[in-house]
Chain A
Amino acid sequence: MELIISNSSSRPIYEQITEQIKGHILSGRLKAGDPLPSMRALAQDLKISVITTKRAYNDLEAEGFITTVTGKGCYVSATEPSLLRENNLKIAEEHILKAVELAKQSEISLEELQEIVKILYEGE
């Protein structure tokens, strides 16, 4: 599992970890049932605090991406299609929010925006 952590990024490290692991899972590079390194092993490899890896794994577990089996470790959960969809919907929403804010700033109307979305959606 490849993970690149940047100290100069504005995003907290645990977020970078959750993002990248989610990316691996959603893209299929990590499959359901694959074991993840323990929190301490990951902290050692990335040379970061174990509190950070704990937090990242807790968040991933809360969102249903991984499960912890006591005494054995953390594994990738079976990816339900609804989970994938939900996650991608969230990301799309974030992008659209940016477009909406920009539109409001430049006094672009809702109708104009919806027109653009329609063209882009049907065009591809």
Chain B
Amino acid sequence: MDFAIKMTDVRKDYGTFSLKDFSLEIPRGYVTGLIGSNGAGKSTMMKCITGAVIMDSGNVEMGNGMILKDFGVVFDECPFPQYIDCLHLSTIFGKMFDGWDQRRYLELLSKYGIDQRKKVKDLSRGMSMKLQIAVAFSHPTRFLMLDEPTAGMDPASRDEFLDDLREYMQDEDHTILISSHITTDLEKVADYIVFINGGEMMVQDEKDRFTETYGIVRHAGECPLDRELILSVRHHAHGSDYLVGDKAGVREAYPELVVDDACLEDIMVMIARGSEA
């Protein structure tokens, strides 16, 4: 399977935080979701890909002749000139991007309920995200890089946005990298999931494999499981939680144990706040 982006041993040291030997392949034609707590390194990683942040060492390769001009980017804070209104903003993009579709841009503004005459600074958080999305969809792209795009959006808007992403993915040359805290969004739209913690790539797999095969064993007392099965453990006052990668297998081997289904959020919290067995 060919990749859209390949990161190899990327390092970036900020003093208090660093990205360590980060290697990742983002497959072309699929949606890859990035999950990690604040400060885990998601934004840094994304900026290393585009070169907004200069890596200390390592390599970023783009597959299939893709270049930065093919990127559509959405950041957690709106990067557009604050004192320009949404309509005149498009003049900048018209000059910046080849194939800018002004008609589509205006349609999207209308669809997202953004007033053309409003200045960027006067938009609410959710509205400014939608503005960035409208811009990203209004010029031909092959790669969408979305950093927390749905934060601040109401559920109906989020649903609409996910529909728009699915429409974008009908072209199999398109790839999306989306980081989000709203794990339910990723459950709905992602094909692959990458968990990041403390600047390191923890695990990458098909999204369905996480939701269908990972589980959490809840048990009080001594650890009942074979150490090798445990990915992460959290201790509470009244017992412990063990994250396992094969819940069906564990249920069969240990029929007496309580094995819960794990959603992406559960897995993320176990990775972020748990410890190795």
Contact = CB atoms under 8 A, between A and B. Distances in A.
- A/B: CB atoms within 8 Å of each other: yes
B204 to A, nearest CB: 13
A106 B112 CA distance: 64
A40 B172 contact: yes
Interface in A41-65: 41, 43-44, 47, 49-52
Nearest to B170: A40
Contacts of A40: 169-170, 172
A67 B187 CA distance: 30
B122 interface: no
- Chain A, interface size category, equals 10 to 19
Interface residues of B, number: 17
B167 interface: yes
A40 B191 CA distance: 12
B30 A50 contact: yes
B30 A51 contact: yes
A49 B206 contact: yes
Interface in A17-45: 40-41, 43-44
Interface of A: 12-14, 40-41, 43-44, 47, 49-52
13 contacts: A12-B208, A12-B212, A13-B208, A40-B169, A41-B170, A44-B166, A47-B162, A47-B166, A50-B30, A50-B169, A51-B192, A51-B206, A52-B208
